A and B are shown apart, each in its own frame.
Chain A
Amino acid sequence: MSIKGTSKDKKNVIETIFRFSPVIGAVIGLLAAALFVMLYNVDPITFIGALCKGALGSAKAIGNSLNRATPYIIVGAATTIAFKCGSMNMGQEGQVFMGGLGVAVVALILPSGTPALIAIPLALIGGMIMGAIFISLPIFLRVKRGVNEVVVTLIMNYMATLIVSALVVGPLGKVGASYPCTENFGEQYSLFNWKSVGHLHVGIFIAIAVAILAIYMFWVNPIGLKARAAGSSPAASLTAGINPTKVFIIGMLVNGAFCGLAGGVELLGRYNNLRGGYADGIGWDSLIVALLSGMNPKGVIPAGIFFGALFTGVSSLQRSIGVPSALLSLIKGIIIVCVVTGTAIEKYHLNRWLTKKKTVK
């Protein structure tokens, strides 16, 4: 066995460039989307300009982008945790919804005079507990009955929206509401926010803290090592004295709890009451964020902010240059495909292409 000496300048340059393949993918995706938008008589440069401006062009835009990134980062980090622990949770959407419910229940039970410093943490803990409770059924079914958690969590997504709506229309509902929602929680429940920065609320700090915690737990703390071992090789971890079932359960519970936290932060950051549909799509988008990060907590913050900015930018397009809203999900789709293609090329093909070129010469 011998190692070939690392050679040549050009190859290294290309390799370094491809380290940034997700970024390149995103840029190519934007260009592709711009071409498509030309169908609608929108000039590509205007389009890209407007998209960037809507995403990051002003303090307000940045605030909006970060606000949107907040739940993505929390849920994304939680999802990578569960994934590394060997579970495939697809129920983020539902767990996020239930988190909001937990927050609402606490906020409606606590006396109205509770100061913010007590009320908000308690409410968020309520959200986490609710998220964890909601994920217990798939855990139970998987551990006790061997039922695949993917199916159950998927189904429970639908249930969560319905449960929230049912409660908001039923026992928790505000009488005479113009749309289904609960009573307002009260001023003290609103997360502190900066109006001038697009109502950026403190949730982003919670999100970053969660992501850092996840990174710490997974790459620094020995527990993370054990969990990763259990996730990637249950048999070997058993031999090493780790119980993969326990790891699975804890990973899933943590995922549920943090999804609940994300739902709670989203609710308290944006609204002052629980309403049906308040977190539509957050779970799915966060799953995408987690996947884009390569299921690595380290990548969740950039991926979350990227996706938050993309979302904000894309949804501002209709306002700024009148791109039909129907196109927005197409643009989102194109960009995701390009980003994952970039990643895949770097991971699987780049080396081969480079060496092939060389042998041809």
Chain B
Amino acid sequence: MQFQSCVKIVTEWDIVAARQLGRNVSKELGFGTVDQARITTAISELARNIYLYAGKGKVCIEKINRMGKSGLLIVASDEGPGIADIRKVMEDGYTTSGGLGAGLPGVKRLMDEFEIESVVGEGTEIKAIKWLR
């Protein structure tokens, strides 16, 4: 089985733990410094969203291999209130440096692939992948 490891997000300290996990795995996989920093920032952002808006949830990091490429998969999931209008949340230009941090469009930019599934009242699951070049 592939490597997978998770961090539960309940307090702000858990954000740091998730970052650390992401940085270690991305270093192991051989990502360069800039990509390490980008992956870590994406994880930080996702964990922070859980901490701020969902209350609790978890961030899992997985090493993946698809069609000869290897990469790092982040899965951030929570059982929070969910997102009613995903189109709006994914819209650009109104979050970054407006006080809310990079937001989900930022995470999408930091990574290569991005997927979101959310059901109001049930929670949100976000998957994001960075491929090794």
Asked if A pairs with B, the answer is: no
Could you tell me which B residues sit within 8 Å of A by CB distance? none
Could you tell me which A residues sit within 8 Å of B by CB distance? none
